[in-house]
Each structure stands twice: as C-alpha cells, then as structure tokens.
Amino acid sequence: MREQLQELLEQRVLQCVSMPRNLLHECPAIEIKKQSCLRRSAEIVKAKAKGSIERKLEGKETAKVLYDVHFQYLIKQKGHFYMEEEVEKRQAEFYKGVLVKDEKLKESEPDGDEGAAMPVFAEESSHNRAGYQYDRLKAVQYAERWWNDFNPAYKKFEVDCTNYISQCLHTGGAPMRGYPNRSNGWWMQNNNWSFSWTVANAMRWYLPASKFGLRAREVSSAEQLKLGDVICYDFQGDGRFDHTTIVTGHDANGMPLVNAHTYNSRMRYWAYEDSTAYTPNIKYRFFTIADDQ
C-alpha cells in the first residue's frame, strides 16, 4: 500500500510541476511562483519533485495521507542560475486506492509561547562581557547544512523557524546570554530557552533592542541586507510577527534569497509571495546583524 501511495503521489506532483500554462489554475502555488519569477525577469527552466509519506490513517475503504514534497527549481535570471528548494506539506485522501483529494497545508502557524506576544527584555550588566565579530560565512554554511534537517545538538520544535535562525546566528559567533530568565537575553540551555531564541515575535523585538551580544540594526529595504542577516515576517499585518528567515544568497538583481525552517526552504525569494501564508497586509522587518566589539 505504501509503495502504491508513493507512486501515485509522485506522479501527481510531477504532473503539476510540468503542467502547461493553460492548466496551471489547477496548481495555483506553481503559477504564483512563476508569476513572481516573471516580475523579476527570472524563469523556472527545470523543476523536479519527490514525495515522502510522513503518516497515514487507513479505514476500510479510505486512507488519509500526510506527506512532504521536496521541490527543486532551477531558476535562470539574466544569465545567472541558482537552485531554489522547498519542502511542501500536503494532505491526500484516497477512496478505494484512488486519489480523490490533494491539498497543500497552510504555511502560517504562530510559533513559540503565546505569552511572548509583547516581550519585555531586561538587560543584565555588561560587566566582563566579551565582544565578538559576526562570522557571516559560518552562519550561512550552517543554514545550508541544516535547512532540511534538524541538528540533534538542539531541541527540535514542531514550529522551528526561529529556533533554526538562532542556531545559525549562534554558529556565526553570537554569544548566548541571560540564562535562566526567559525574558532576558538570548539563549538555549539545559532544555530551556529564552523567548527571543524560539519565538518569531520575540526575536523581532529583541534584535534592535539588545545593547550588546546579539544585536542588529534595522534597515529600510531588503536590498540592503547582507549574507547572514535576518528578515522577520508579519503575514497578517496585525503587529505580531509569525516567521523568521536568514539571508543565504542574492539573485541577479541583488535581492535576498533566504533559508527557513518549519516549511523548510533554501534560496527562496525573500518576499514569500508564493506562500500560503502571504496576505496583502504582510509587513517585513529587515535586520542587519552588528558586530559587538
């Protein structure tokens, strides 16, 4: 049964990727991505996808399957090529072995503790603190290594986007501080963690407010960001930030490409226009990480 489902799912996905333009209304996510590429003078020249079943619930005649699809898109832009990858979470329903429903699950989920909606960060004394220089290359190398996997050295979260970004920043040299107060500093230690380490909304407020250790300067536009910098996303535009990404590359126009967790992706165009979480009310905050010397 598993092999049959796997084959059906992969055929369905591959058909969607290669579907002619006049039928793309049946695969809106692919059409949105193509339109996003077109607006920046880019095109998808090759695509492939592989399905992986995560869980299935079987009845007498029905089966519900939760599965991941690993997409790879070769994108050409002004003679420059790069590979975008993302893992899409989907749910399929079968009746007597026939696929009757297949849908992408919504990307947007609040991450972390609801109690961190309006965090307050107490600054501990800077006595005897050591400065550091942010190693952007190491941060990006870590982001690339773990974009579609989980480092067993850290706790894994179901909604993992900000935890993943914190790991990248820490690998780049940003020191933890503030333990054990969860509203203080930025840290993960002894199976505990600060709000700023794991909660998108808390990291959004922590980065520009921090006076030493991990800190950042907000800039006005995405093109000002360098490798290893951070983008925060408020999909609904309601003031609560839902998602965090790290810059791991730039396209031919100099615009950021980002890596992220939860819905794992790499070298994705920063604006997230192809996301199911995207709304016309979306707000972004752009942060460039500062050295602490």
**What does the block give as tokens for 290?**
């500062």
Residue 234's beta-bridge partner residues? 283
Per-residue pLDDT of the chain (293 residues; tens, 9 = 90+): 556 555 655 565 555 555 444 444 445 667 788 889 999 999 999 988 888 888 989 899 999 989 898 999 999 999 999 999 999 998 989 898 888 888 888 886 656 554 454 555 555 555 556 689 999 999 999 999 999 999 999 999 999 999 999 999 999 999 999 999 999 999 999 999 999 999 999 999 999 999 999 999 999 999 999 999 999 999 999 999 999 999 999 999 999 999 999 999 999 999 999 998 999 999 999 999 999 77
Strand, coil or helix: 131? coil
Q: Which two tokens stand for residue 36?
A: 């996003």
Nearest residue to 84 (alpha-carbon basis) of 97, 98, 95, 70 = 70
Helices (H), the chain: 2-17, 28-39, 136-145, 161-171, 195-198, 200-209
Taking the C-alpha atoms of residue 120 and residue 182, their distance in angstroms, rounded to an integer, is 10
Measuring CA to CA, how many Å separate 37 from each of 30, 255, 271, 272? 11, 12, 11, 12
Q: How far apart (Å, rounded) are the C-alpha atoms in residues 201 and 116?
A: 7
Q: Exposed, middle or buried, 175 (CB in 10 Å: 0-12/13-18/19+)?
A: middle
pLDDT tens figures, 196-249: 999 999 999 999 999 999 999 999 999 999 999 999 999 999 999 999 999 999
DSSP state letters, 167-204: HHHHHTTPPPB-TT-TTSSB-EETTEE-HHHH-HHHHH
pLDDT of 85-113, one tens digit each?
A: 999 998 989 898 888 888 888 886 656 55
Evaluate whether 197 touches 187 at the Cβ level (below 8 Å). yes
Q: In the chain, what are the domains?
A: 2-104 (no CATH), 114-289 (3.90.1720)
pLDDT of amino acid 53? 86
Candidates 225, 168, 219, 228; CA nearest to 197 is 168
